[in-house]
Every structure is written in structure tokens, then in C-alpha cells.
Chains A and B, each alone.
Chain A
Amino acid sequence: MIDSVLAILSAVMLGLGGFFMVSGAIGLLRFPDFYSRMHAASMTDTLGSYLVVGGLMLTAGWGLPLFKLALILVFIFFTSPTAGHALAKSAQHCDLRLPGGGASTKKADNEISGSAQGPDSRDVVSADRV
């Protein structure tokens, strides 16, 4: 009884996860520019992968595989926004720079007079810290 309920639940979660993966791919193809495509891609590595891994966890039974799947979930949860931020941050350093992208002029002046490094190296430093 419990087994069949778990099997159905896991099938539903895998199906929904697949649906969000496909939606992410469609968004990636249809959206017009780099940043809005990033939003579509972030769908595949949030709910899409949570549902797929969660669905697999339901069928894994108690044991090491369950623990490993949980670890995968935790690592996706913490690494995917880091990767997304790195992508957006590096887009700031080329033609894709957002209109409001630079630090406001007053701050940039302080930055230059305050240190010999200049604003670009400051960006690199803060990217490292995040």
C-alpha cells in the first residue's frame, strides 16, 4: 500500500520536475536577451531539479542512496545561485553591462582616490568574496 502511494507520488514529482525542465528550456530559447534567459535557466536548477531529485528520493528506500541524493539536493541549493551570480557579474564586465550597472559616480570617485587599485580590481575582489 505505502509502496504504491510512494511510487505514484514519485512519478508525479518526476513528471512535474520534467515539466519545469522543459519550461526552462523553452524560456531559454524564446526570451530575447541574456538576463531574461538566465531567469529561465534558473528554473531548471531550482524547482526542476528539486522535484526530480525529490522524486528519486521517495523510491530510494532507507540507506546510503537516500543520503547521497539529499547531499546532491543540498549542494545544488547552495551552488546554483553562486554560479548564476558569477554569470551575471561577469556580464557586467562586458557589453552586456546593465544601465544602472556601475557604482554610482560619487562612490566610484571615492574608490579611485581611496585606493591605488581602481574600480575594476574592486569588482574582482568583491566577486571573490561572494
Chain B
Amino acid sequence: MKTDNRGRADRADAHYSLYLVVVLSVIWLGNSGHYSPLLLTFGVVSVALVVWIGRRMQVVDGESQPFHLSLRLLAYYGWLLRKIVESNIKVAACAWKGPRAISPVSGRVPCRLESDLSRVIYANSITLTPGTVTVSLDDGEVLVHALTESGLAELREGEMEGRVARLEQP
């Protein structure tokens, strides 16, 4: 964004603000269920207030609303959901078998992802699958705690990282 000229940055900014207005309005309408003029006015005011605060905090951008990735993100989350189900079953089995079935281990997993957004998606996905937790996200590596050694070994194979990397490829 810094290298772009001023006009283009402004236009992208307006784009993201508009997108935020739409999302907030849908959430407000869906949760309210009352559509009298007075309450709708309150809704408009609160949406405007949130957008204004968000812009002041400079969090209204492609990082907080990666809608350019929407379709790919959906496909990715479909895959992730399958992983979540698998690892839930594994961890549930460990819970019933008791402490002898687990071998808690922590280690650093290299992470070659470039952008902040994809690194956060990656770390978030690791934490979302039971059995692995991202403890710390540093430059070029993540510190992961895993319930079993196989969980850590699976991350090192890098299938998840590869899928996250493909999210942002043109």
C-alpha cells in the first residue's frame, strides 16, 4: 500500500469501508428482528460509529477483511474442517485411553510464509485443530506444542503450510 500512489490507496480504502458497512449491516439486521424507523436509525448510527472507529484505528484494510480471497478461503476451510474432525477423534481416543496414550512434545516448525495474513491463517489453523497449539509466531518459524509426536511430524510434512501458501498466489 505504501508504494501505491495516493489516489489508488484512497479508492481501496473506500472499498474496504463499504464492505465493512455491508457486513455490519447484515449482522445488525440479522440480530435485531425489529425494523421500526427508530431502531433502524439506531442501527445506522451504530454501524457508522463502528466504521468511523475502525478507520481511526486503521484496521479497515485487506488484512481484517480478506474478501479478495473469499472463494479460496471457503475451499481451504472445507479442507480444514475435515482435519479438525480427524484430529478431534484422535484426541478423544487419547482422552479415554488416559495419560499413557499421549507423548506431549513441543518444537519449532519452520514457516516460509511471507505475508502477515497467511502466517496468521496458518497459526490459527494449527491452534484450531485439537492436538496442536501455536504457542508463539516468530520470524520464519512457529513454536508448536503437540499432544503426540505424530501431530508435530504431520505439521513438519507441510501439507497445511502448502495449502495456506496457495491461498495468496495470483
Instruction: List the interface of chain A (C-beta within 8 A of B).
Output: 19-20, 23-24, 26-27, 30-33, 35-36, 38-40, 42-43, 46-47, 50, 64, 67-68, 71, 77-78, 80-82, 84-85, 88-89, 91-92, 98-101, 103, 107, 123, 126, 129-130
Contact = CB atoms under 8 A, between A and B. Distances in A.
* Majority secondary structure, A binding face: helix
Chain B interface size range:
35 or more
B2 to A, nearest CB: 18
Given A98-B145, A130-B120, A26 B96 contact: yes
A39 B137 contact: no
Nearest to B86: A47
B147 interface: yes
Contact of B95 (A33, A43, A126): A43
B170 interface: no
21 contacts: A26-B95, A32-B99, A33-B104, A35-B104, A35-B106, A36-B102, A36-B147, A39-B132, A39-B133, A42-B128, A42-B133, A43-B88, A43-B92, A67-B30, A68-B30, A85-B133, A85-B135, A92-B135, A99-B106, A126-B137, A129-B116
A23 B95 contact: yes
Contacts, number: 118
Given A42-B130, A84-B127, A130-B137, A36 B30 contact: no
A108 to B, nearest CB: 11
B7 interface: no
Contacts of A27: 91-92, 94-95
